[in-house]
């Protein structure tokens, strides 16, 4: 038995990292969220902003603008809703490298020292990496 399934399309946004509730134990990292597209016309794209207690909140955006630019800034309807940048394709989240371990950088600097069998250039590069990491760690 084959059914004709209608293709489901989405708009995408990035939800900022935040804490759920009043407790800092419930941290929610930044993530990509989806909004199901319900209807497309020549001028607008209608999408499901959210669903509360069985009620659908439908929003719309300018179709020509988002298709030309790939993204669109949407101003919130009021204080209860955050502004959002909507995307046609899922955005790529920036991934930050963890801060380098100062002890490991210091050990690499020590191993690169000319008295320990390393070269002068290797020691200077390792020392520079260690100093940069130390200064950045002191700023935090």
Give the confidence band of 65 by pLDDT, cuts at 50, 70, 90: very high
Could you give the C-alpha distances from 3 to 6, 39, 101, 106, 138, in angstroms and in order? Answer: 9, 21, 56, 64, 61
Name the residue with tokens 């002191």. Answer: 138
- Cβ(88)–Cβ(70) under 8 Å? yes
Give the confidence band of 97 by pLDDT, cuts at 50, 70, 90: low
pLDDT above 90 coverage of the chain, percent: 29
Name the residue with tokens 């309807």. Answer: 77
Give per-residue pLDDT as tens, 5-20. 567 899 999 888 877 8
Could you give the C-alpha distances from 102 to 15, 29, 117, 121, 123, in angstroms and in order? Answer: 32, 26, 22, 20, 15
User: What is the value of pTM for the model shown?
Assistant: 0.58
Better-predicted residue by pLDDT, 130 or 95: 130
């Amino acid at each position: 038995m084959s059914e004709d399934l209608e293709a489901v399309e989405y708009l995408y946004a990035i939800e900022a990292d935040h804490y759920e509730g009043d407790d800092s134990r419930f941290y929610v990292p930044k993530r990509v969220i989806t909004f199901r597209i319900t209807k497309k016309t020549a001028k607008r794209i209608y999408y499901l902003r959210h669903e509360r207690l069985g009620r659908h909140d439908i929003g719309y955006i300018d179709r020509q603008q988002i298709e030309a630019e790939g993204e669109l800034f949407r101003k919130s309807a009021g204080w209860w809703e955050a502004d959002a940048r909507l995307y046609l394709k899922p955005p790529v989240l920036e991934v930050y490298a963890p801060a380098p371990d100062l002890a490991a950088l210091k050990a690499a600097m020590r191993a690169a020292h000319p008295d320990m069998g390393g070269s002068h250039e290797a020691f200077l590069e390792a020392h520079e990496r260690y100093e940069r990491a130390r200064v950045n760690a002191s700023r935090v």
